[in-house]
Structure 1
Amino acid sequence: MEDVQDAEDLPRIEPSTHVLLHDLGVRRDGDEWIVGRMSTRTFVAMPAAGARAVELLGEGLSVARTERTLRAETGEEFDITDFIRDLAALGFVARIGDRPVPDVEPPRASLPWLRPQQVRFALSPVLPLLVGVLLSAAVAVLVRRPDLLPGYRDLLWSPHGSLVLLSGAAAGWALLFAHELAHLVTARAVGVPGRMRLGTRLQFLVMQTDISGIELAPRRHRLTAYLAGIALNLSVASALVIGLAVTDTGTTAHRLLAAALLLALMPLPFQLMVFTRTDLYFVLQDLTRCRNLYGDGLAYARYVFRRAVRLPRPGGTADADDPSTRLPPHERRAVRLYSVVLVAGTVACLAFMAAVTLPADITLLVRAARGLGPDHGVARNTDSAAVLVTLGGVNVLWLVTRWRDRRSRRSGG
């Protein structure tokens, strides 16, 4: 398919022109309306008059009649011609008059064979209750058996470092895939296509699921989709606790279950790092009714920094307007508070990487490289190769993913 045409390339729009819109979803959100096209995952917030104009155009009213209707209902004048051009730029218009508008290529969905009706159970109100029961049972077991609480030593279930690394990597990636699959399944149950892919958050390599379109769903379904991954991790961890309680301490099965339990719990503290747009970030954004908490928070932080050091804005001055003043009061307060968390958390993460993570990775990689060769035994060579493949592979994958994302942003993809 072709890209959407620029406004000047669109067919001429006359007062008598009728337009055909693509299938659009609409949901009221406070004083605004969310309007979007699920197939292209493009969504915008509009005032009530804009949503009403979309409704009238969708009913087949001409430009002139739409303007007259809106004027009669609101007492205000509206330029529907420009409005149609804006809709076309978003890919919402299929035809203007008798001429089709070139469409955009819709993003590919992960697991396209998975149908909403097949996963409707993910939206059942019974499911959170089952998760709660399982979690309560695990907490009760830990209260009676506090010795089952995992520690870092549980990861070292084998004396062979290569087995620990490879099994840990396999289990970790399997849990990560299951976490993202939970998001995808819940969103698909709502009718959102969803797409899983690798991404980066500061120094972290992550798997992420784009569930754009969930904005049109009711709040309960939105929050369910955002929290599905955390619920999956807690459910797995709870089942593992119960498994530990029924296996004999010291057995291989017990050690493996303890290691798996720690791997299931380890991603949960990361979710509190809302400055990296984790699952809890989207919950926070939804509850504060912000459109783009991260983007607006970053813009405000940059404004404050430039003002503090009196740096000129690119193409502007150091006294550029505060970007948060354009937001509604409730969003403005949330964005300004979030910007503090964003800056403090980012600085802390990067400082930790520079002081701890990076030196540790370099040390491990250097030791592994020195451990290879005919002068070392089979066990030492195997362990060194495992470290290089596992740790080195993750770092290379981070670099490749980061480069891909930056190139995609520069190309507008």
Structure 2
Amino acid sequence: MTDTAAEDRPRIEPSTRVLLHDLGVRRDGDEWIVGRMATRTFVAMPAAGARAVELLGEGLSVARTAETLRAETGEDFEITDFVRDLTALGFVARIGDCPIPDADPPPASLPWLRPHHVRFALHPVLPVLVGVLLTAAVVVLIRRPDLLPGYRDLLWSPHGSLVLLSGAAAGWALLLAHEVAHLVTARAAGVPGRMRLGTRLQFLVMQTDVSGIELAPRRHRLTAYLGGIALNLSVASLLVLILALMDTGTTAHRLLAAALLVALLPLPFQLMVFTRTDLYFVLQDLTGCRNLYGDGLAYARSVFLRLVRSRRLRLTTGAGDPSTRLPPHERRAVRFYSVVLVAGTAACLTFMAAVTLPVDVTLLVRAARGLGPEHGLAGNADSAAVLVTLGGVNVLWLVTWWRNRRTRR
């Protein structure tokens, strides 16, 4: 049987020269991050790999690149295989006289937004301003503890439909603003960014893909990761300062107090790093891990399989342990994170089965039974609002989960 795909590949001879796409390169410890921003494809390479990319990009042939690397390092490198790997990654535009087909780049959100429009988002003064605003709000709360929000602040109206609809509207508006903050800071660093819906266990989330931020300096990377949290804290701080100037008991005060709680509610979720929240990416960056979630999941799976096969509750290392191929500092972080991953996932799924699911089913059943002419206009409107709000979120979760599952496949 002939390999048609292999026959279609352009031949790579010692004299072959390649044309690379526009690639970004950044040193990261002992390795180099090399990637193509247009396709959001990035890999970590040793220094020799980054040097090979540089030489090929300068127009040297495959043979000359290998000779130069041998002269610089004293080692032999298979540049032919390396060029094939670069081609598979989409980094090569042409091999010799043969152009390489290129896939369409994924679309960016808000493509009209240019880096120079939002350059202010990376200004070092901005975090200072956020810190000043947050400090002022904390001082006000210490002096006025009555402004601390509680769950009763969400119940600003006796009509459950109004509470649900207003809470959903405010929550989704703040969620969109949270993701736009990620997009703006990433775009300021030259990263396209793309916002879309996603799922994290039982949670429906909006997420921003900022692939490419790996090429930016650490300060810019952390700013992009923490931009959403900073926005939530800034909004909450502003609301605290406004509430301190208003008379209590008014409808406006109750609405702003509810908005304050809505702005703060997503922040505890960020601590759930096992669901790849914003703080997860901060943790991954600070620990120097390439794929903390993927490596942690692989390690946890290997431990489970070894326990099942050995039938002994004893953790061992060696063959079958994927973390052994990682550097020591990554290995320690991955093994610790795997414990957080397993425990956190189990706790979330248990809470969903014991609390969230029964509550949702009960509310939906009550709302369905509340429909009918005998319940009047207000009763029907209230039940319809619950069905649309709560049922819509659950349907949207299912659709998003199924769509993303098909995309991954």
TM-score, normalization: structure 1? 0.96
Q: Distance in 1 between matches of 2:66 and 2:24?
A: 22
Could you tell me whether the CA contact under 8 Å between 1:94 and 1:100 is conserved in 2? yes
- Equivalence map 1:93-172=2 (5 Å): 93-172=92-171
Tell me the residue number matched to 1:363.
Answer: 362
Q: Distance in 1 between matches of 2:168 and 2:242?
A: 21
Tell me the residue number matched to 1:315.
Answer: none
- Partner of 2:156, secondary structure, is coil
Tell me the residue number matched to 1:76.
Answer: 75
Tell me the residue number matched to 1:385.
Answer: 384
Tell me the residue number matched to 2:59.
Answer: 60
Give a deviation string over 1:188-210, Cα, whole Å, max 9, x none: 00000000000000000000000
Structure 1 position 380, deviation (Å): 1.1
Structure 1 position 9, deviation (Å): 3.0
- Equivalence map 1:334-413=2 (5 Å): 334-410=333-409
Give the root-mean-square deviation of aligned CA atoms. Answer: 1.4
1:174 aligns with 2:157: no
Q: 1:31 to 1:184 in 2, by over 3 A?
A: same
Query: What letter matches 2:257 in structure 1?
Result: A
Q: Distance in 1 between matches of 2:97 and 2:233?
A: 55
Unaligned 5+ residue runs, structure 1? 313-318
Structure 1 position 10, deviation (Å): 2.1
Q: 1:262 to 1:79 in 2, by over 3 A?
A: same
Structure 1 position 291, deviation (Å): 0.3
Structure 1 position 320, deviation (Å): 5.5
Q: Distance in 2 between matches of 1:286 and 1:183?
A: 16
Structure 1 position 383, deviation (Å): 0.8
Q: Distance in 2 between matches of 1:8 and 1:45?
A: 30
Q: 1:320 to 1:365 in 2, by over 3 A?
A: farther
1:277 aligns with 2:281: no
Q: Distance in 1 between matches of 2:66 and 2:406?
A: 42
Tell me the residue number matched to 2:10.
Answer: 11
- Partner of 2:196, secondary structure, is strand
Structure 1 position 336, deviation (Å): 0.3
1:216 aligns with 2:215: yes
Tell me the residue number matched to 2:183.
Answer: 184
TM-score, normalization: structure 2? 0.96
Tell me the residue number matched to 1:250.
Answer: 249
The total of aligned residue pairs comes to: 401
Q: Distance in 2 between matches of 1:87 and 1:128?
A: 39
- Equivalence map 1:181-330=2 (5 Å): 181-310=180-309, 321-330=320-329
Query: What letter matches 1:406 in structure 2?
Result: R
Q: Distance in 1 between matches of 2:52 and 2:194?
A: 31
Structure 1 position 258, deviation (Å): 0.2
Could you tell me whether the CA contact under 8 Å between 1:6 and 1:89 is conserved in 2? no
Give a deviation string over 1:266-320, Cα, whole Å, max 9, x none: 00000000000000000000000000000000000000001111189xxxxxx95
Could you tell me whether the CA contact under 8 Å between 1:7 and 1:89 is conserved in 2? no
Tell me the residue number matched to 2:91.
Answer: 92
Q: Distance in 2 between matches of 1:184 and 1:250?
A: 38
- Equivalence map 1:23-42=2 (5 Å): 23-42=22-41
- Partner of 1:375, secondary structure, is helix
- Partner of 2:374, secondary structure, is coil
Give a deviation string over 1:165-224, Cα, whole Å, max 9, x none: 111100000000000000000000000000000000000000000000000000000000
Q: 1:346 to 1:256 in 2, by over 3 A?
A: same
Q: Distance in 2 between matches of 1:210 and 1:83?
A: 28
Structure 1 position 379, deviation (Å): 1.3
- Partner of 2:182, secondary structure, is helix
Q: Distance in 2 between matches of 1:7 and 1:393?
A: 49
Q: Distance in 1 between matches of 2:264 and 2:67?
A: 59
Alignment identity in percent?
86
Q: Distance in 2 between matches of 1:6 and 1:22?
A: 22
Give a deviation string over 1:212-261, Cα, whole Å, max 9, x none: 00000000000000000000000000000011101110001100000000
Structure 1 position 7, deviation (Å): 6.0
- Partner of 1:207, secondary structure, is strand
Q: Which moved more, 1:227-236 or 1:98-107?
A: 98-107
